[in-house]
Structure 1
Amino acid sequence: MADPGGGDGDGGGASANAAATPATRRGDRAAVQARLDALVRENRFTIAVVFPVVGAVLLVASAEGLLPPPLAFDPLLILLGTLVMRSPLLVGIAPLIDRTAAVGVAVLAGYAYAIEFVGLRTGWPYGDFHYAIDLGPTVAGVPVGLPVFFLPLVCNAYLLCLLLLGPRARATWVRLPAVIGTVVAMDLVLDPGAVALGFWAYAGGGAVYGVPLSNFAGWVLSATVTVLVLDAVLDRAALLDRLETCEFALDDLVSFVLLWSAVNVYFGNWGAAAVGGLFGLGLVRTNRFDVPTRPRWV
């Protein structure tokens, strides 16, 4: 006959192991997060300064025909470089991505593909445009990497506004318009530089360094949709707590300022470059433009 005590002990052990599993998983995730934090922290200069500076040089050289075809506007280099520069933001917000946030990000990725697909075929809402270089694999003409290019811009704007607004960010009527306006301002830096490089082109050009006003109206729409979803799925209190301990969370915005301001200066897009400079001042105001001045390998 089986020992009842032994049977109960086995069942209790199994229950204890099952109960310990979520805690173990949380511990594993925390350990991975700590390693990622350390990796980014130890390479901040390389990621936030070297990559955008080298990237700007390579992009301008490509546009000027100074690089041979295998290297000029190489889509793999563009995508990999973008991912590296995005890494501080991705690592910074990773602890906040629970199931709800993951669903929200997936919805926004779907929206980004859908609105770009519509825009390429109808000219709405951004204006009649087409991609002039290869930005990597595409689905129905839309670059697969589009969410990597677009969504982090909105996240950067959201984080910057939370820090600059301080307690005022608690008011929805202040927070949301501020973030939406900041996203559109980022496109005032991005789009003129991208058009000058030849990333994409608008039929008939446009009033703002070759970019039509309809593009910025389209960005108001996409920024509104994206900001509303992010605001709904992210825990702002947890996000602010994370920002207190994660000094590199906005390093991707540092990269953005350096790369696109340099490109705009080269092509004489002085207004766009000035807006980029304002973002730099915003980073200084939040004490986030504090990337170490020397890389670890020097």
Structure 2
Amino acid sequence: MANGSDGDGGAGTGTVGAPATTRRDARTEMQARLDALIRENRFTVAVVFPVVGAVLLVASAEGVVPPPFAFDPLLILLGTLVMRSPLLVGIAPLIDRKAAVGIAGLAGYAYAIEFVGLRTGWPYGEFHYAIDLGPTVAGVPVGLPVFFLPLVCNAYLLCLLLLGPRARAASVRLPTVIGTVVAMDLVLDPGAVALGFWTYPAGGAVYGVPLSNFVGWVLSATVTVLVLDAVLDRSALLDRLKACEFALDDLVSFVLLWSAVNVYFGNWGAAAVGGLFALGLVRTARFDVPTRPRWL
């Protein structure tokens, strides 16, 4: 009778435990395959895509690429997702239920503040989209979280690496990341305005971008950084960064694409800030994508 009970107990444990173990094994295997896919295509993703993207965007802005191919919204969204893929794959193992809920909340926040901004001019200043960036909800592009949230995550990862042990102090970590996010917008917004992605009717002091925009980014960055800091396990994140050399390749793409756009349009200050990010990547040994693709 005792042996029968032990047998049932073992069977019960196996029934309950096996599915969970199977799911973990499947996730581990899938993660390994994704890691390998990104590693084998780092040059294409982190260099070819942003360089080709910069050429196509500038050609579209200059009228060289005719409609309907100029600024094709699906192509823009697809290219953005490809360039984001190293970051997404890099942090995927760290996204538990708590992190997923936090990120979903940030996506909702991004939509909400953009909705308010488009209708009231607060907090970024009066602006409107000048080209089609894909499907919209109440005038806000559906792809907005894909455009915005990874920028903050890139800034967070870069600052963790650059700060080292000093990143343990929230009083150092959080303001540094927030400032870095705003600095990223100093690269992004002038380039986007030059291309005609969006426009500020009243113009602005920073290559057509008003100072109010950067004040608004301080607010958005603060909310987003605080939430990410609360839902991500920094120790696990640092361990993953040590093992995942491609996690910041999306930032490499950002530097290449937007610095090139800013140089073309003569936004030298914005391009110089992009150069500072390149130096940060070199300092952290993350500007190390292969010099050529495997197929050459």
Q: One fold, TM greater than 0.5? A: yes
Question: Aligned equivalents of 1:167 and 1:270: distance in 2?
Answer: 34
Aligned to 1:230: 228
Corresponding residue to 1:195 among 183, 193, 196: 193
Q: 2:65 aligns with which of 57, 64, 67?
A: 67
Q: Shift of residue 70 of structure 1? A: 2.0
SS of residue matched to 2:199? strand
Residue correspondence of structure 1 range 49-88 to structure 2 within 5 A: 49-88=47-86
Instruction: Say which SS state the counterpart of residue 206 (structure 2) adopts.
Output: coil
Give the match for residue 47 of structure 1.
45
Measure how far apart 1:193 and its partner are: 0.0
The 5 Å alignment of 1:120-131 reads: 120-131=118-129
Cα distance in 2 between the residues matched to 1:204 and 1:21: 59
Aligned length: 296
Partner residue in 1 for 2:286: 288
- 1:154 paired with 2:152, answer yes
Matches within 5 A, 1:105-116: 105-116=103-114
CA distance in 1, matches of 2:137, 2:33: 34
CA distance in 1, matches of 2:76, 2:252: 17
Query: SS of the residue aligned with 1:203?
Result: coil
Aligned to 1:173: 171
2:94 alignment partner in structure 1: 96
Deviation of the 1:12 alpha carbon = 3.7
When the two structures are superposed, what TM-score results if normalisation uses the length of structure 1?
0.97
Superimposed CA distance per residue, residues 116-154 of structure 1 (whole angstroms, 9 cap, x where no aligned partner): 000000000000000000000000000000000000000
SS in 1 for 2:60: helix
Structure 2 residue aligned with 1:217: 215
66-75 or 110-119, which moves further after superposition? 66-75
Structure 1 counterpart of 2:221, which letter?
A
Alpha-carbon distance in 1 for matches of 2:142, 2:23: 31
Residue in structure 2 matching 1:141, options 139, 142, 158: 139
Task: Give the SS at the match of 1:216.
Answer: helix
Cross-structure match for 2:255: 257
Unaligned 5+ segments in structure 2 are: none
CA–CA separation in structure 2 for the residues paired with 1:256 and 1:196: 16
CA separation in 2, counterparts of 1:37 and 1:31?
10
1:229-267 C-alpha deviation (Å, 9 max, x unpaired): 000000000000000000000000000000000000000
Task: Quote the Cα distance in structure 1 between the aligned partners of 2:89 and 2:158.
Answer: 16
Query: How much has 1:13 moved relative to structure 2?
Result: 1.8
CA-CA distance at 1:8 after TM superposition:
6.9
Question: CA RMSD for the aligned pairs?
Answer: 1.3
Report Cα offsets for 1:207-246 as digits up to 9, x if no partner: 0000000000000000000000000000000000000000
Which residue is 2:11 aligned to? Answer: 13
What is the rounded CA distance, in whole Å, between the counterparts of 1:220 and 1:11 in structure 2?
57
* TM-superposed deviation, 1:19: 1.5
Runs of 4+ residues over 2 Å off in structure 1: 3-12
| Cα distance in 2, alignment partners of residues 19 and 267 from structure 1 | 59
Identity of aligned residues (%): 86
Measured in 2, the distance between the counterparts of 1:103 and 1:251 equals 25
String of CA shifts for 1:180-216, please: whole Å, max 9, x gaps: 0000000000000000000000021100000000000
Q: Could you tell me how far 1:7 is from its partner in structure 2?
A: 8.2
CA displacement at 1:68 relative to structure 2: 1.4
Distance across 2 between alignment mates of 1:167 and 1:12:
46
Q: Does 1:163 align with 2:161?
A: yes
Tell me the distance in 2 between the aligned counterparts of 1:289 and 1:8. Answer: 57
